[in-house]
Structure 1
Amino acid sequence: MNQTKREEIFRRLQAANPAPTTELQYDTPFELLIAVILSAQATDVGVNKATARLFPVANTPAAILALGEEGLKAHIKTIGLYNSKATNILKTCQALIDNHDGEVPRDRKALEALPGVGRKTANVVLNTAFGEPTIAVDTHIYRVSNRTRIAPGKTVRAVEDKLLKVVPKTYQRDAHHWLILHGRYVCKARKPACEACVIEDLCEYPEKVST
C-alpha cells in the first residue's frame, strides 16, 4: 500500500468520526488505568458494568487498597480472570502510592513497571489519558492493519512499529481509536461489512466482500 492511499484512508476515517475515543467509561487517568487492566480478555461492555459498581465506591489507589482483596473482587467478579486482576490492581495501587504520589505516571517505563501493565495498556493510557501519539495494537488493530495492508506485520509489535512509521503525523493521536472501532464494527473478524466500509475501495484485502 502506498502512502497516498494511507493518507486518504485516515482522512475518511476522520471525516466519519472526527472525535473518536475509547468505549471504556472513565473520568480520571487512574480510572482509565484500572479499566484497561480489567479489559484484558474482556469486553468493554463488561468492564463498564463492573467499574460502574466499583468507581462510585473506590476510584483512587488508597480507596481501592482500603477495600482489600475480597472487597475488590466482589466488585469485579463478573469479569474473566478477576482473581489475578484483583491481585495486580492492588499491587499497582500500592506502587502508585509508594512511587508516584498516588498519580498515574505519564511515562512508558514507569507505566510498564506497574503490575498487570504491559506495553499495550501503557499505550492506551498514554494515548487516551494524556494525548500521546501512541498506538496500542489489540486484536482488532492487528487484523485491520494486516487485512487492509495499511501496516502488515507478523507480530503485534511489528504492526505497532509499522503504524507509527506510516500513519501521517496529523492522524497519529486518533489512529488507535479509528482502527479499533473500524475492526470492532465494520472490518469484523468472521464477516467484514465491506458494503458499509468507507475505505472499501482503498482496502487491499484480496477476499473482501463485493459490494
Structure 2
Amino acid sequence: MNANKRRRIFERLAAAIPEPTTELRYGTPFELLIAVVLSAQATDKSVNKATAKLFPVANTPEAILALREEGLREYIKTIGLFNSKAKNIIRLCELLIERHRGEVPRDRDALEALPGVGRKTANVILNTAFGQPAIAVDTHIFRVANRTGLAPGKTVLAVEKALEKHTPREFRQDAHHLLILHGRYTCIARKPKCSQCPIADLCEYPDKTAAPG
C-alpha cells in the first residue's frame, strides 16, 4: 500500500469518526489507568458500569488502598479476571505512591513497571491521558491493519511499528482511536460491514462481504 492510499484512508476515517476518543469513562489520568487495566479481556461497557460505582468512592491510589483488596473486589466482581485485577491494582497503587508520589507517570518504562500494565496499556495512557502520539495495538487494530493492508504485521509490535512508520503525521494522535472504533463497529471480526465501510474502495482485503439482500 502506498503513502497516498494510506493518507486517503485516514482522511476518510477522520471524516466518518469526527470525535475519535476512548469509550471508557474517566476524569483523571489515574481513573483512566484503572479503567484500562480493568478492560483487559472485558468490554468497555462492563468496565464503565463498575467504575461508575467505584470512582465516586475511590478514585485515588490512597482511596483504593483504603478499600483493601477484598473491598475493591466487591466493586469489580462483574468484570472478567477480577481477582487478579484487584491484586494488580492494589500493588499498582502502592507503587504509584512509593515511586511517583501518587501520580501517573508520563514515561513508558515507568508505566510498564506497574502491575497489570503492558505495552498496550502504557500506550493508551500516553496517548489518551497525556496527548502523546502513541498507538496501542489491540485485537481490533491488529485486524484492521492486516485486513486492509494499511500496516500488515505478524505480531502486535510489528503492526505498531508499521503504523508508527506509515501513519501521516497529522493523524498520529488520533490513529489509535480511529482504527479501534472502525474495527469495533464496521470492520468487525466475523463479517465486516464492507457495504457500509467508508474506505471499502481503498481497502486491500480480498474477501469483502457483499451488500445484504
Q: Structure 1 length as normaliser, TM-score? A: 0.99
Name the residue aligned to 1:96: 96
Alpha-carbon displacement from aligned partner over 1:134-181 (angstroms, at most 9, x marks no partner): 100000000000000000000000000000000001000000000000
- What one-letter code is carried by the residue in structure 1 that aligns with 2:82? Y
Name the residue aligned to 1:47: 47
Structure 1: distance between partners of 2:109 and 2:68: 27
CA RMSD of aligned residues (A): 0.6
Structure 1: distance between partners of 2:84 and 2:95: 17
Structure 1: distance between partners of 2:202 and 2:24: 30
User: Given the alignment of the two structures, is residue 7 of structure 1 paired with residue 10 of structure 2, yes or no?
Assistant: no
Structure 1: distance between partners of 2:145 and 2:110: 28
User: What SS does structure 1 have at the residue aligned with 2:62?
Assistant: helix
Name the residue aligned to 1:76: 76
Aligned length: 211
User: What SS does structure 2 have at the residue aligned with 1:173?
Assistant: coil
Name the residue aligned to 2:28: 28
Name the residue aligned to 2:155: 155
Shift of 1:18: 2.5
Name the residue aligned to 1:105: 105
Shift of 1:25: 0.3
Structure 2: distance between partners of 1:15 and 1:157: 27
Name the residue aligned to 2:142: 142
Unaligned regions of 5+ residues in structure 1, if any? none
Name the residue aligned to 1:61: 61
Structure 1: distance between partners of 2:17 and 2:123: 21
Name the residue aligned to 1:115: 115
Shift of 1:15: 1.3
Name the residue aligned to 2:178: 178
User: What SS does structure 2 have at the residue aligned with 1:120?
Assistant: helix
Name the residue aligned to 1:201: 201
Structure 2: distance between partners of 1:15 and 1:134: 21
Structure 1: distance between partners of 2:189 and 2:169: 28
Structure 2: distance between partners of 1:16 and 1:187: 13
Alpha-carbon displacement from aligned partner over 1:99-139 (angstroms, at most 9, x marks no partner): 10100000001000001100000000000001100100000
- What one-letter code is carried by the residue in structure 1 that aligns with 2:102? G
Shift of 1:19: 2.5
- What one-letter code is carried by the residue in structure 2 that aligns with 1:117? V
Instruction: Calculate percent identity across the aligned residue pairs.
Output: 72
Structure 1's consecutive aligned runs of 4 or more residues displaced over 6 angstroms after TM superposition are none
Structure 1: distance between partners of 2:173 and 2:204: 24
Structure 2: distance between partners of 1:190 and 1:11: 25
Q: Structure 2 length as normaliser, TM-score? A: 0.98
